[in-house]
Amino acid sequence: MKYALLIYQTEKDWAEADEDQRRQAYEAHGRFAALLKERGADRGGEELALTDTATTIRSGGLLTDGPYAETAEQLGGFYLVEARDLDEALEFGRALAALGDIVEVRPVVAYE
């Protein structure tokens, strides 16, 4: 079953990170991605641009700048994984959260 591992972070911290902090974060995510590949669970993922680049479209076609919700943490990226069950997906989520961010594990709906 596919699961999305949604990564939430305090965007200000990332925006203000220096080159060394970013390098360390990318290296840590590289190790996490390698773990997923080793386990045959990697189905993709991406870093998202900062929320000030977002445009939200509301019903009726109203466009607003910025993210849908104003929150303390913002969605910064995601991994799509294949896991045998929720327990394995949570195992991946815990490993990802150990990198210092908040991780939401959510099943992906499979359409026939």
The answer as to whether 61 is a domain residue is yes
The answer as to whether 24 is a domain residue is yes
Residue 64's pLDDT is: 86
For the chain, how many structural domains are there in total?
Answer: 1
The CATH number covering residue 18 comes to: 3.30.70.1060
The answer as to whether 70 is a domain residue is yes
The answer as to whether 112 is a domain residue is no
pLDDT in tens, the chain (112 residues): 999 999 999 989 999 999 999 999 999 999 999 999 999 999 999 999 988 888 888 888 888 888 777 787 889 999 999 999 999 999 999 999 999 989 999 999 988 8
Backbone angles phi, psi at 78, to 5 degrees: -160, 160
Q: Which domain does 71 fall in, by range?
A: 2-107
User: Which pair of tokens denotes residue 23?
Assistant: 């390098």
Provide the angle, in degrees to the nearest 10, between the axes of the packed helices 86-97 and 19-38: 160
Residues in the chain: 112
The answer as to whether 55 is a domain residue is yes
The answer as to whether 69 is a domain residue is yes
The CB-side HSE value for 37 (13 A sphere, CA atoms) comes to 8
